[in-house]
Chain A
Amino acid sequence: MRLFLALIDIFTNPAFYKLTLTAATPLIFASLGGVFSEITGVVNIALEGIMLMGAFVSVVFTWLTGNAWIGVLFAILVGIGMAWLHAWASITWRGNQIVSGTALILLAQGVTGFLMEPIFGRPGQTDIVGKIPEVKIPLLMKNRFLAQSIGELSPMIYMAFASVFIAWFIIYKTKLGLRMRAVGENPEAADTLGVNVYAVRYFGVLMSGVMASLGGAFLSVGEVGNFRELMTGGRGFIALAAMILGNWNPVGAMWASLLFGFSEAFANQLQSSPLLRVASTTKPLFNMFPFIVTLIVIAGFIGKTRPPAADGVPYEK
């Protein structure tokens, strides 16, 4: 009974919906990154690492310049650099894409941990360096529920949804998108028709760097305003699951990200519910929740969705 009341309390609380959007945003960005890369046939599990690097770099440059948007800009540049390394190893040198991705995750964890002390003077986490202010939409502020749920949001949340549309448009409505899909499905045929397979794949992977670093930057300067070591906490992999569940389609990936964001927000609200009085020692059990949901979803949906035919296969001319 108490659980039932707590559930009603959570679902009628406008803050819960804001939390869902906030939790989904980094996943939307990163899963779009996954779509961009895999649609051209390159598996990119480095999302987790690029996000972490994006979160760190945006904090460093926000701290240096005092402007969080400049921080985000540098995060994107470094994200492109990381993605370029992955593209270089897996497209130009036809290396193992999963192993290269693993290397980049480790690189991000190493570099961010390594630079904490020389730059910020202590390991663990940085001071609050400032964040991107939320914007109010006056029209929505009139109703209390709307005001507290979607009336005042980070502009990066709007950017995430705009990116979904842009990604969908590029992939399904432009010549470039057609080429991307062709290269991911049948690179030999695309090559025969005069498509530069390597260039299109590079574009896909570099776009995944842009997207994943935006997701990471949102976690730090978009949401909390500082950096903690390993703060991405597996979100890059949840984003990969969202991409699979969304059938390698930007719109599908968005819905899947919202589902995972919902489960994260739900676990969060449940453990802090005043009606349930959860002991602080049992909180780790609630943290397991989004990962269990992801695992079940992957197990249930994979096979029902279909990856690009040449996904993960290096192309040799």
Chain B
Amino acid sequence: MNQRVWSFLVPLLSVIVALIIASFVILMIGKNPITAYAALVRGALGSKMAIASTIVKTTPLILTGLAVGFGFRAGLFNIGAEGQMIMGAMAATAFAINVGWMPAVLAIPLTMLVGMLAGAGYASIAGFLKAKTGAHEVVTTIMLNWIADYFSSYVVTVPMGVGFGTPKSPEIASSAKLPPLMVVQATELTSGIIVAVLAAVFIKILLDKTSKGYELKAAGFNPYAAEYGGIKLAENIVLAMAISGALAGLAGTLEVMGVHHRFLGTLSGGKGFDGISIALIGQNNPIGIIFAALLMGALRNGSNEMQFVGVPKHIIMIVQAIIIFLVAADRIVRTIFLRKKVAK
């Protein structure tokens, strides 16, 4: 079977295998997997409100998926989308609180720009360290995640904190809020989804149609050959990390502008890590990533409904883990299904 079909089939089959294995896990705690999965589908797609809320959850996931996927294409494993998302959201909030005097045409793009720059800058630290010293980006971005996490929990309680209960910042100026596409019952369908899809198209064009994209891919695919061919590796590493971080920063920014209208301590909530599974399921292709994000958004959204039938929503993490594992060792999947084909 040819390579293109496989690159599409492996993630799909991985998802199916993962859901099957997870159903045994659900059986193990004495629940009915069919009831659980029915609740999952109902929670994700069962009503207009459920669909709207799935799309809201998908929006940041497209961007964190793009952040990780773009990194992969350039030969970098950006596991720090979580921290970059936090830094982007925090900087965007600090900016957007103070732009009440600005008209929305200015305030909206400028807030996005600030969030993207913060994410890009934060990711560049890891890019710079890799280019200068060879420090592996997996270890450095994990350290940066923890630093961002603790730093933001300080910022959101002391310098920015308002009110009681969950640490939160004041609301951003209304000129910086993204207008909702429509309101389905209490759920506002954020127009951030349009921004996210446009970002995917932009990355697709950058990777496939520009010479810079070609350079980044070449540096990722075979750094030695690329360097021999005159591509500056160090420069490309920093640039690729910065673009990846900008996408993650935008994910956090859109959460602030379109959903919460303020910075919250729990804003990222694992969305950066979801980006890894999304990039792998989408095979690092921006258009594939949109659909993978939709799948993950639906799983995340539906998992709340699953809690009501007594299945902890952590099951989604287990499903993700199995998918990532199978995509990492994709020969397992190929062998399982090819052997069956041969037997027929």
Contact = CB atoms under 8 A, between A and B. Distances in A.
| Chain B interface size, under 10 / 10 to 19 / 20 to 34 / 35 or more | 35 or more
B117 to A, nearest CB: 21
Contacts of A94: 329, 331
B29 interface: yes
B139 A298 contact: yes
Contacts of A107: 317-318, 321-322, 325
B134 A302 contact: yes
B84 to A, nearest CB: 15
B129 interface: yes
A295 B140 CA distance: 6
Interface stretch (B51-59, B142-150, B189-197, B226-234): B142-150
Interface stretch (B92-100, B152-160, B175-183): B152-160
B266 to A, nearest CB: 13
B142 A237 contact: yes
A285 B150 contact: yes
Given A93-B331, A291-B146, A110 B138 contact: no
A274 B77 CA distance: 43
B151 interface: yes
A113 B314 contact: yes
B320 interface: yes
A298 B79 CA distance: 17
Nearest to A93: B329
B201 interface: no
A127 interface: no
B77, B140, B157, B314: most-surrounded residue (chain A CB, <10 A) = B314
Nearest to B331: A93
Interface string A98-123: 11101110110111011111100001
A77 interface: no
A104 B328 CA distance: 11
A213 interface: no
B312 A291 contact: no
Nearest to B319: A110
A98 B29 CA distance: 31
Contacts, number: 146
A231 interface: no
B200 interface: no
A310 B154 CA distance: 42
B324 interface: yes
A89 B143 contact: no
A102 B147 contact: no
A269 interface: no
B205 to A, nearest CB: 27
Nearest to A236: B142
Contact of A282 (B79, B154, B324): B154
B30, B143, B319: most-surrounded residue (chain A CB, <10 A) = B143
A265 interface: no
B77 to A, nearest CB: 6
A22 interface: no
B273 interface: yes
B329 A102 contact: no
Nearest to B280: A99
A234 interface: yes
Interface in B60-103: 77, 79
B217 to A, nearest CB: 17
A299 B314 contact: no
A285 B146 contact: no
Given A99-B280, A237-B142, A281-B154, A114 B318 contact: yes
Given A284-B153, A299-B129, A302-B134, A103 B324 contact: yes
Interface string B286-322: 0000000000000000000000000010111111111
B141 to A, nearest CB: 10
Given A104-B321, A241-B143, 15 more contacts: A88-B329, A94-B331, A96-B328, A96-B329, A99-B280, A106-B320, A110-B315, A114-B315, A234-B146, A288-B146, A288-B147, A291-B143, A295-B144, A298-B139, A302-B136
7 contacts: A94-B329, A110-B315, A113-B312, A114-B314, A118-B312, A299-B133, A299-B135
Interface of A: 45, 85, 88-90, 93-100, 102-104, 106-107, 109-111, 113-118, 123, 233-234, 237, 240-241, 244, 281-282, 284-285, 287-288, 291-292, 294-295, 298-300, 302-303
6 interchain residue pairs of minimum CB distance: A95-B329, A110-B317, A107-B321, A113-B314, A99-B328, A103-B325
Interface of B: 25, 29-30, 77, 79, 129, 132-136, 138-140, 142-147, 150-151, 153-154, 157-158, 273, 276-277, 280, 312, 314-325, 327-332
